[in-house]
Amino acid sequence: MNSIHISYSDGIGGASRAAYRIFSAIEKESFNQGYSSIFKVYKKVTGDYRVIDNNNEWKYWKKIQPLLSRIPYQSFKTTNNTAHSTALIPNNFYSKLRDLNKSSKVDLCHLHWIGDSTLTIEEIGKIDIPVVWSLHDQWPFCGAEHYCFPPKDTMAESDDIRYINGYQKESRNIGEGGFDLNRWTWLRKLRAWKKPLNIVCSSSWLYDCAKNSFLMRDWPIYKIPYPIDLEKWKPVDKRLARDLLNLSNKDNDIPIILFGAVGGTIDPRKGADLLFEAFLYLKNNSENNIFKNMQLIIFGEYEPINPPKIGYPIKYVGKLNDDISLRLLYSAADLMVVPSRQEAFGQTASEAHACGTPVASFEIGGLKDIVDHKKTGYLAKPFSSKSLAMGIKYILESSKKNNTLGSNAREKALRLWDKQKIASSYIQIYRNLCNKE
């Protein structure tokens, strides 16, 4: 029951970090049972010997392939700012997988986030061994878009349901023009994927999306959350964490609020604008002194030329690529805010919970699985900055309540996201597919 995992990267972005965590958990459990797993990526960023990158294979093609991949985008116009992938131009991943299969070294293929640089849509359809696909966004059942159009500010869910009804010509969204890249990409999936694949979703929201999709509604679909190493990701004493990160203040009583995402505040899907509005509301509508002095810390971004004016000091700590720094930062904070408009899971929220830090977010997507309202954090009304401000206020207004929420958060992480439990769930799927007792 040897497996090969395929992903764009092992650490660039949240999806790649999740893929690496899934692989690492499964590989350790598989090794204990006498099996092996390898991880094939387009761009390697970890030093893990088990991860095989693409740098020394097809090195000249690697420069040309991305340019060819962009050709279908030339006449496509959209106001949906999410990433788009056509998975059109082949790389060497499929030939490597085929060679391994011929030598009887691989029993199962485990796919993750693939983008435009790993397997093509057509190659996925040709894989003749069992396939497990961990979804990290909506792309596998959508067109070229990795998320459908974001919901309007007055709606909890998007009204873009092309992935449910099929991508008919007349159903095109108002925010698109030119070549219908999404319909064309979706039709290629429909033609190529004749054999159902085994889909794993990280949240109830993503599971429901896949189950309702035209493309996957009759496929086997499972729900397994992202794993986390709870021995590595655990609380650090707050004062110690602040001292180590040089975040201490005079009396150590000024609340620290944390926000972070790949790209920081630039990606509108991550909702930084809504967080800033919530801060302004608190500044202008709070009599309690605790809300007169707060600090926002942002990771994933360096300080811009013109930082936003929110009424409170902002400290930018840049991109933190090591788990130790992130763990210290979560532990130093009184609250993590994840104000996303769309989120398949919400890995920063689960990391914060593992470190005993409450989370405030909107009641959307995968965050509904992570945050228990008024037990481990606060779920605000989508997409009300006032409601989010009330969530921040609820979590911070009492140190006793804050400690209780943090303890509950850590307990939930231990109960649901333990890497060994997650690995066992995946291996059971592997066994069923490979007929291993």
Give pLDDT tens digits for 255-264.
Answer: 999 999 877 7
Model confidence at 251: pLDDT above 60: no
* 302: number of Cβ within 10 Å: 11
What pLDDT, on a 0 to 100 scale, did the predictor assign at position 56?
58
Q: Give how far Cα 159 sits from Cα of 56, 281, 291, Å.
A: 44, 29, 36
Contacts of residue 371, defined as CB under 8 A and 6 or more positions apart, other chains included, come to: 349, 359, 360, 361, 377, 378, 379
For the cut 80, the answer to whether the pLDDT of residue 102 exceeds it is no
Q: pTM score, two decimals?
A: 0.94
Specify whether the CB–CB gap between 357 and 255 falls below 8 A: no
pLDDT band at 237 (very low <50, low <70, confident <90, very high): very high
The answer to whether residues 132 and 108 touch, using CB atoms and an 8 Å cutoff, is: yes
The percent of residues in the chain predicted with pLDDT above 90, rounded, is 75
pLDDT for 105: 82
Amino acid at 160: D
Of 242-251, 347-356, 406-415, 422-431, the one with minimum mean pLDDT is 242-251
> What's the distance, CA 364 to chain centroid?
14
For residue 8, what pLDDT is reported? Answer: 95
Q: Assess whether pLDDT exceeds 80 at residue 287.
A: no
Given a cut of 80, whether residue 32 has pLDDT beyond it is no
54 pLDDT tier (thresholds 50, 70, 90): confident
35-39, 240-244, 362-366: range with lowest mean pLDDT: 35-39
Residue 274, pLDDT above cutoff 60: yes
Q: Which residues, listed in sequence order, are joined to residue 142 by a DSSP beta bridge?
A: none
DSSP structure class, residue 89: S
Question: Tens digit of pLDDT for each residue in 365-382?
Answer: 999 999 999 999 999 999
Residue 119 has pLDDT above 50, yes or no: yes
Report the C-alpha dihedral over residues 141, 144, 146, 151, rounded to 10 degrees: -90
More confident residue, 35 or 346: 346
Per-residue confidence (pLDDT) for residue 163, from 0 to 100: 98
Q: Are 260 and 348 in contact (CB under 8 A)?
A: yes
- For residue 392, which of 334, 314, 351 has the smallest C-alpha distance? 334
Rounded Cα gap, residues 328 and 245, in angstroms = 7
% of residues, the chain, pLDDT over 70? 96
φ and ψ at 128, to 5 degrees?
Answer: -105, 15
Q: How far apart are CA 86 and CA 313, in angstroms?
A: 42
User: Which residues lie closer than 8 Å to 112 by C-beta, 6 or more apart?
Assistant: 5, 6, 7, 8, 15, 16, 18, 19, 22, 133, 134, 136
Distance of CA 179 to the CA centre of its chain: 29
pLDDT exceeds 60 at position 436: no
Environment class of 324 (CB within 10 Å of its CB; exposed 0-12, middle 13-18, buried 19+): exposed
**Dihedral of the CA atoms 231, 328, 290, 347 (nearest 10)?**
-60
Label residue 437 by pLDDT band (50, 70, 90): very low
Encoded tokens for 274: 């809504």
Q: What is the CA radius of gyration of the chain?
A: 22
Structure tokens at 115: 């983008």
pLDDT tens readout for residues 290-300: 677 889 999 99
Average pLDDT, the chain: 92
Average pLDDT over residues 86-95: 90
